[in-house]
Amino acid sequence: MTAAEQPRSGAKGPRRAVAARDRTRQPTEVRRRLIIDAAVPLIAERGYTSVGVRDVAAAAGVSVGTVTYHFDSVQEILSEAMVLHIERYYTALSEAAEHATSGAEALRLLIDALFTDDTDRHWRMWFEYWHAGEQGTDAAFTRGQADRYTAWHRQIHALAERGQADGEFSCDDLDGFTARFAALADGLALQRLRQAPPLTTQEARHHLNQFIQRELVPRPPAR
């Protein structure tokens, strides 16, 4: 090789395709997860209806054929991507609440985690998830949505129930409290994203904390 033919130090030439026999084949689940992980930021940035299979393939660094081999449709990719993101998010919330010393503290930690400078992306994903359900007729997807929302309600209910069992506060209607808390959180999240009217994360937290103080009556300390 002559000096002229040698690559310059630090310069990168065009990426060559790897021969099929030399490629390391990854397990199906690894490839599926790679594709799904690549779809999450696309949905958050562009919205569910603006992401196509070519976009996902480019983000994952695979061919369109690889994507269509592992998934039957774009909706399947995006649905699984949203489910993965939501499960990760609420798993982190559950772990934070479990380390709280009381039910009241757990609820405060939950509120703090729901509204931070980093949670707008989660809320965009959450609403895209529900929008996707309205657009499709997949019964399994619909059941999955219902299961996830039921789990979210169950988590709120358990934290309030814990505080009541520990004698921190009383509540005559824990089911009602749970439904109203979830609805208020969703409403504040939508207002936060739309900024109509403007809403800061601190204000969103304040509204939820005020709601808890009104709904869960503190018990006086035992004498």
pLDDT at 190: 95
Structural tokens at position 80? 């699984």
| Domain assignment present for 157 | yes
Beta strands in the chain (DSSP E): 169-170, 217-218
136 vs 168: which has the higher pLDDT: 168
Q: For 109-132, what is the mean pLDDT?
A: 86
For residue 34, is it within any domain?
no
Q: What is the CATH number of the domain that holds 126?
A: 1.10.357.10
Bridge partners (DSSP) listed for residue 217: 170
Within a domain: 100: yes
Q: Which residue has the higher pLDDT, 178 or 116?
A: 178
- Considering its fold, how many domains does the chain have in total? 1
With respect to residue 141, please indicate whether it lies within any of the assigned structural domains.
Answer: yes
Better pLDDT: 20 or 160? 160
- For 68-109, the pLDDT digits (tens) are 999 988 878 888 887 888 888 888 888 878 788 888 999 999
Identify the pLDDT of residue 22.
41
In a domain, 50, yes or no: no
pLDDT tens per residue across span 13-37? 433 433 444 444 567 888 899 999 9
Q: Can you give the residue range of the structural domain that contains 160? A: 82-218
Q: Is residue 86 part of a domain?
A: yes
Residue in the block written with tokens 């969703």: 186
Residue 20 counted as domain residue: no
Q: Name the residue with higher pLDDT: 93 or 202.
A: 202
State the chain's mean pLDDT as an integer. 83
Does the residue 110 lie in any domain?
yes
Higher-confidence residue of 169 and 90: namely 169
Which residue type occupies 146?
A: A
185 or 95: whose pLDDT is higher? 185
Q: How far apart are CA 36 and CA 56, in angstroms?
A: 8
